[in-house]
Chains A and B, each alone.
Chain A
Amino acid sequence: MSEPTAFGIDLGTTLSVVAQVNKAGLPVVLPNAEGSQTTPSVVLFDGGTAVVGPVAREALAAEPEVVVQLVKRHMGSHWSFDYQGISYGPEHISALILRKLLADAQLLGGPVSQAAVTVPAYFNDPMRSATRRAAELAGIEVLGLLSEPTAAALAFGYERRPAGATGVVVDLGGGTFDVTVMDYDGHDLAVRATGGDYYLGGSNFDKVLFDYLAEEFRAAHDLDINDPDSLSLDECTQVSHDWLLRATRAKHDLTSRERTTVALQAAGLLLRVEVRRDTFLARSRPLLDEVTEKIIDVVAAAGVAPKDVNFVLAVGGSTRIPAVRERVQEIFGRPPDTSVRPDEAVALGAALFAAQRQLEQGSALVMEPQARDYLANLTVTDVAAHTLGISVFDADAGSDPGAGRRASGRAGGRQVMLPLLTRNTRLPFDTRRTFYTMQPGEQRIMVPILEGEEADPELCQRIGAVVVDGLPAFRPAHQEVLVTMRLDRDGILRVAAADVATGMAASTTIVHAHQQVSGHAADVAVRAMTVE
């Protein structure tokens, strides 16, 4: 029995792409129903219908308040979009995008519901879990989550089969930035270090240009779109989206041209603004410096000298910005490899990864034997992008009189972050710790999970809590509970707990800090909606 090959989905901040490994063993992009390789990750709400793609993006200028874009920036957060009495979380909007991608891909790729979905390497557990949930809501059987730079390297390596090489992937997408250093040897791809920023991408550069345009308009016409006396709310919403689209177009123009012109209109006033590439460059310097800094940091964390790097890949649409390429060249002394297409590499790699996971599950894929053999032997090892830990009371730590917090105002000891899983450790990774019940008869304990590189818990992010429930009743206080935490190979946190005295397993739940409390109505709506 032969099975169709699973899809690889690059669920991007601005654009999404689906790919599949064909019978010849090559990953190919599946065009959407409109015939494009890429689908804008934009959703237009129109009654019971969700329109996804270019039509939705065009509607941004006309009715921005029923259009959702850049939702990936909110993954794992409490952000919501309220429409017709239902509150949609980021995973619901993403699920609608995925439903469209899946339906279109099935037209060409066959009745497939299995897929691997990519996430930024820097995404943490709540963000990855939200992505996984989005895929499940869309009816996708998730074979795995793969970090985007790792996917791009897979696509690159599949053609080149590098031996004993060390490579760097610089992935600057629409909303996120990742840098990953990896060793690539034949069938084995192992990430050494990764880092990035989940709020740095093409849309930050758009905003730089937008701000420039708004300043010029204010200088010429003394009109500030933030001022309610100048523009009504509806006008402000429309004007700002119109200008933002024009800013994006100008940015694209400036990759090939030295100057471009933007026509602006607001409150019946007109202005033509000339934007020069060096103006754009000067204004985006802080963003570029951040890119440089992150690359240098990650390369240092990997223990590699820039000159010893064998290949540098630039993926993500924003690496087309000439200044970004120049920065990469400055660091590594060579221009980035452009043989992989920046928009497609991630999806192609995801397709290879999906096929590999299928083979691992014992699927009978019909494929060219050499390709099949390569995929069957392929191993991909990723690392944790963040340090995870818990907050514990350290009685030996000196109190810090400078801080105004109550915890540190006490004599002797303070709360400290105790790392359980350190950044850049290979996945999967397990750790075990014993916790204690505090009260007689307690059947439930709660362990808050922190993320961050700082010793002070206040400077770390509380990403959620592990709730252990169902411990035996009627016991004195201070019972031992053994909690095993595992960051699985997809970067998702798994937890198990056992009562030490009885050896009984206890139930565990991971509650994320921003988890939606009332998502059920939206879950139902997302499945029921017509997606076009």
Chain B
Amino acid sequence: MPHPADPERPDDWYSVLGVDPVATTDQIAAAVERRARQANALAVTAPERARQLRDQVRAIKQDLLSGAEQRERYDQRLARQEANAVPSLPPARTPAGYPAETPAGQPAPAPPSPHGPAAGGQPLPQAGSSPPPGAGARGLMSRVAQFLRTGWTCSNCGYGALPTDKFCPKCGSKIQPGLGGRAAADSHPDMAPPSEAPAAQPAPCGKCGGMIAPGDAFCTRCGALRA
């Protein structure tokens, strides 16, 4: 069974699916759909295989069915791998905001991902583009769904804050209550969280005296930076 989720050594989804590398999106979607159904059908009798299949389907959807650009990127990675049998060359990093593994609509109960709104159940708008028009109801639903999983979302860095947090524990910006953050296109990568390793101990906040939890860079009560 191929091992998912190593962007440097992509699996050859075309041969996994048994489709031509130049297959149309519809052809790929049909083959992926069949695999998803097989995963359903095996859920009870062969749970281990079903789980692997579901992971695979998720990864294939991510690589091949999330838009032409995404597929092109995957094709390039695949071609690179085939060209170099030794995968030691550093691959060209994909642009910031390369979505995390979690695909749209999967309510993964995982801890809030620092990858930000990618886990939010909506495909990420490409950086610089505006959110798709007419996404009102869907947008609301997916933000509600995100809230249910992670609490409020920081509108600056996309970190999933707790409902009680007034300031983002990751970047210290004030959390705007309402329905989660703005679209990812609005985020400021220059205001990214400090890059040192997260503290392992809780510490009192130097400004307001509240407790800063382990792993938090900022006080969630007043937004002050951890001393």
A243 sits at the interface (CB 8 A): yes
Is B44 in contact with A81, judged by CB distance below 8 angstroms? no
* Contact (A225, B45) CB under 8 Å given A85-B29, A237-B38, A517-B121: yes
Quick one: CB contact mask for B208-225 with A, threshold 8 Å, 1 for yes? 001101111000000000
A391 sits at the interface (CB 8 A): yes
B147 sits at the interface (CB 8 A): yes
Q: Which residues of A contact B45 (CB under 8 A)?
A: 207, 210, 225, 240-241, 243-244
Chain B residue total in the interface (Cβ 8 A): 46
Q: Which of chain A's residues has its CB closest to B29's CB?
A: A85
Is A65 in contact with B37, judged by CB distance below 8 angstroms? yes
Is B177 in contact with A207, judged by CB distance below 8 angstroms? no
Which residues of B does A touch, CB under 8 Å?
A: 1, 26, 29-30, 33-38, 40-42, 44-46, 48-49, 53, 105-107, 121, 138, 140-142, 144-145, 147-148, 162-164, 169, 176-179, 202, 210-211, 213-216
Q: Which of chain A's residues has its CB closest to B214's CB?
A: A409
Is B49 in contact with A226, judged by CB distance below 8 angstroms? yes
Is B148 in contact with A82, judged by CB distance below 8 angstroms? no
* Contact (A236, B49) CB under 8 Å given A203-B44, A444-B178, A511-B141: yes
13 contacts between A and B (CB under 8 A): A78-B105, A78-B107, A207-B44, A225-B45, A241-B41, A244-B45, A407-B164, A409-B211, A410-B211, A442-B177, A448-B148, A513-B148, A517-B145
Query: Which residues in window 189-219 of A have CB below 8 A to B?
Result: 203, 207, 210
Is B46 in contact with A225, judged by CB distance below 8 angstroms? yes
Q: Which of chain A's residues has its CB closest to B106's CB?
A: A78
A-B pairs with the 5 shortest C-beta distances? Answer: A240-B45, A409-B213, A406-B213, A65-B37, A64-B41
16 new A-B contacts, CB < 8 A, other than A82-B33, A234-B38, are: A64-B41, A65-B41, A70-B44, A84-B30, A207-B44, A225-B46, A233-B49, A240-B45, A240-B46, A244-B44, A406-B214, A406-B216, A407-B164, A439-B177, A462-B148, A465-B147
Complex Cα distance A79/B40, Å? 9
A285 sits at the interface (CB 8 A): no
Is A514 in contact with B41, judged by CB distance below 8 angstroms? no
* Contact (A410, B141) CB under 8 Å given A444-B179, A513-B107: no
Complex Cα distance A410/B113, Å? 21
Complex Cα distance A234/B41, Å? 11
Complex Cα distance A286/B97, Å? 47
The smallest beta-carbon distance between B116 and chain A, in angstroms, is: 18
The smallest beta-carbon distance between B32 and chain A, in angstroms, is: 8
A268 sits at the interface (CB 8 A): no
Q: Which of chain B's residues has its CB closest to A409's CB?
A: B213
